[in-house]
Amino acid sequence: MIIANFKSNGSEQMIVRWVQDFISNIDNNHTTLGIAPPYTYIEKLERLLSDANQNNLKVGAQDVGVGSGAKTGSVSSSMLADLNCNFAIIGHSERRKIFNESNELIREKLKNLISSKLTPVLCVGESYSDFENKKTLITIKEQLNECLLDIHIPQDIIIAYEPLWAIGSGKTPNPTDVNEINEYIKDVVQSATSNNYVPSVCYGGSVDVANAGSFFDCSNIDGALVGGASLDGKKFALIANEFNRNN
């Protein structure tokens, strides 16, 4: 799956333009794609996509709250389900860093998504210092083990491997290295969960039209989580077309 993460970007006008640009550039019969706009634009985007018969595009959220009730500012998984969201991203490094989210909290979010039957897109990834000190695998294993402890994962779960130093930086790791890390992630998830399921694992971090193909050529890279380049409907469509050609 190729997933767009708009982060805290966009406007009513941008969403309309995005859909037009996307539709003018996407190949027919494309694979399932996901778009995570800010909460406030979810319904508008769903309406525009449905009017354009773009039924292979799933709309999702960039995060989810834990539970409901006295939690000011929080949007629960059942509210996302009411909005017809298909998936939600959890554990993005920006949430971990800016909002101090721990693996334990992310695990609670995961449980909430599972109970509302939404597809979880769980992000993991190492800092630059972990990368330099060759601690990538240790960090990822810890994140996965803590986030997935005792979880019976749904078959549709997606793990997004996103090295922090590649996000928004224009720097990318070697696709061959990502391929090996993704294979490792599949093994760890299979052993960490109670139902031994092997998940899809995407790559995220400065994916753009020029480099997307080099990632999609690799057998263990099952898609991409795209930030900056996804804000342009045409670029996102071209990345999705590249994925279609390789799958």
Active-site residue set: 92, 162
At 63 the three-state DSSP class reads coil
Binders of ligand PEP in range 1-30 (CB under 6 A):
5
| Interaction between residue 223 and ligand PEP (CB under 6 A) | no
- For residues 180 to 209, the per-residue mask of contacts with ligand PEP, x marking binding by CB under 6 A and - elsewhere, is ------------------------xxxx--
**C-alpha to C-alpha distance for 86 and 76, rounded to whole angstroms:** 14
**C-alpha to C-alpha distance for 181 and 217, rounded to whole angstroms:** 15
Q: What is the DSSP string of 18-74?
A: HHHHHHHHPPTTPPPEEEE--GGGHHHHHHHHHHTT-TTEEEEES---SSSSS-TT-
Burial (CB count within 10 angstroms: exposed 0-12, middle 13-18, buried 19+), residue 238: buried
- For residues 130 to 169, the per-residue mask of contacts with ligand PEP, x marking binding by CB under 6 A and - elsewhere, is --------------------------------x----xx-
CB of 133 to ligand PEP, least distance (A): 22
CB of 27 to ligand PEP, least distance (A): 21
Residue that is written with structure tokens 């539970």 in the block: 67
**Quick one: which segment of 59-67, 73-81, 138-146, 224-232 binds ligand PEP (CB under 6 A)?**
224-232
CB of 162 to ligand PEP, least distance (A): 5
- Site size toward ligand PEP, by CB under 6 A: 13
Q: Which two tokens stand for residue 137?
A: 């695998």
Binding site for ligand PEP (CB under 6 A): 5, 162, 167-168, 204-207, 225-229
